[in-house]
Amino acid sequence: MASSKNYQTLPNSSDHYCFGCSPVNPSGLQMNFSADRDTVISQVTIPDHLCGWSNIAHGGVLTTILDEIMSWAALHFIKRITMTKSMNMEFIKPVYIRTPLKAEGKVLEIMGKHEAVMEGILYNDKGAACAKSTANFAIFSPKIAQRLGIADDHSLQFFADIFGIK
């Protein structure tokens, strides 16, 4: 598990209600993000209301965390609007609620102008990999994202200001 000392905090916005990253969604994960030269990370603790059975985190929540970290890695490194096309999950070890976790996301491959392969890994508080995902992401220009209804003007302006997406 990489140290966070060389990571720069990525800005977020409080004017959306994303389950993964909105700081104002009381039911969400409220993930924050930092990046180094090739990886985006997030420290997250899964709250009680998102457990599966006993004290084990629900697999859908783990999938959401990895989808979110890969999405932020795509925004930060590819500098385009992206959406998940397909996603493969591998659940390696049980993940417990109320336990500090670290998610890492990175770009594995950019396949032309319209698709990228991403990777996400979720680590427990001992540094062991607990879940891993690879996903294919569709890449959109802001104009196409707006035309398809993927992002509104306000979101596109935020992405342009923060990530340099044009």
Band (123; pLDDT cuts 50, 70, 90): very high
Mean pLDDT for the chain overall: 90
Q: Cα(27)–Cα(68) distance, rounded to whole angstroms?
A: 16
**What average pLDDT score do residues 146-150 get?**
90
Least confident of 104-113, 131-140, 156-165: 156-165
Q: Are the CB atoms for 92 and 155 separated by under 8 Å? A: no
Q: Nearest-CA neighbor of 65 among 37, 79, 46?
A: 46
**Per-residue pLDDT, 31:** 80
Q: Please write the tens of the pLDDT for every residue from 69-84.
A: 999 999 999 999 999 9
pLDDT at residue 2 tops 60: no
Higher pLDDT, 105 or 29: 105
Please state the rounded mean pLDDT for residues 47-59. Answer: 90
First-to-last C-alpha distance (Å) of the chain: 33
Angstrom distance (rounded) from CA 90 to CA 88: 7
In the chain, the domains with their CATH numbers are: 8-158 (3.10.129.10)
